[in-house]
Amino acid sequence: MTDGALLVAAALLLDGLFGEPRWLWSRLPHPAVLMGRAVGALDRVFNAPPARRAKGVLAVLLLSGGAILAGWLLSLGGPVIEIATAAILLAQRSLVEHVAAVAAALRLSADDARAAVAMIVSRDCRDMTQAEVARAAIESASENLSDGVIAPAFWFLVAGLPGLVLYKAINTADSTIGYRTPRHEAFGWAAARSDDLLNLIPARLTGLMIAALAGQLRAWPEIVRDARRHRSPNAGWPEAAMARALDLALAGPRSYDGQLRQLAWVNGGARREIGADDIDAAVAMLWRVWGLSLVMLLAGAATGFLLMV
């Protein structure tokens, strides 16, 4: 556990400081792109009647086996390869950059802001107001802090590089085929449920860390209540904690594919007119959670070392 905590801390630090090496991914396909291609191939081969759900389960099993094997093979390269691979699969720096870009665009014009937020959310952005743009950016920041940083780090700590690669493969599958569309509702069921399971602990841990850093642990019962009202079994936890941390309302009605969906508000009694400064506050919280993660990992490694002496 001591070695694992040090490896995760090093990967978090490397990703947080340097982020994605664009010079490299302009020449080679990113591992996430390769995972997406694998999911796409499985979709093309297996997603046809009859028994779409059973075939979706088989696809997830094949994807999981390949991910675990790839992670194990990479781990044979030693600590440097493990740290570098993990840093590539973490998303702290890229998340911060994408969310901060929305705040910068919002200070320029509504059109710039809508274009920037469309890079990180799947909802309709064309007619968004300033408050809706800011809300979408903060919601994305909250959810992706869990999905892109805490969950990968958690599974690396628990199961090494095979665990991290497995998590990223399942998360990619969920974002590719885990939708309730006529084509993917049955076939993508296994991917969506697997992603829900793998995010069960990390999402709640992320919410707890946000609440602790914001001095909102006393509001944990309300955070739990709002999280359970969210359409996602996991995304609501960091989102509800962020809403309390920043004292604003998140979620609520939004449009997908031209259809307005009346979703429940998170912390609905709080402020709804929000803007670029609130996005900046969310970005600051992303860094605070990142810093707390490093401290916790290093403290855990130090404790383990002292117990071994």
The two tokens of residue 98 are 């994408």
The tens digit of pLDDT for each residue in 151-210 reads 999 999 999 999 999 999 999 999 999 998 999 999 999 999 999 999 999 999 999 999
Integer Cα distance of 79 and 10 in angstroms: 10
| 305 pLDDT tier (thresholds 50, 70, 90) | confident
| 108 pLDDT tier (thresholds 50, 70, 90) | very high
Side chain identity at 218, as an amino acid letter?
R
The two tokens of residue 229 are 């009202």
151 close to 139: Cβ distance less than 8 angstroms = no
Specify the pLDDT at position 256: 82
3-class state of residue 260 by DSSP: strand
Q: How many CB atoms lie within 10 A of CB 202?
A: 23
Which of 235, 201, 207, 206 is closest to 222 using CA atoms? Answer: 207
H-type alpha helices, 189-232:
189-198, 200-213, 220-229
The tens digit of pLDDT for each residue in 245-280 reads 999 999 888 888 778 888 889 999 999 999 999 999
The pTM (predicted TM-score) of the whole model is: 0.95
Specify the pLDDT at position 2: 67
| 33 pLDDT tier (thresholds 50, 70, 90) | very high
Interior angle at CA 79, CA 75 and CA 82, nearest 5: 50
Specify the pLDDT at position 1: 62
pLDDT at 42 over 90: yes
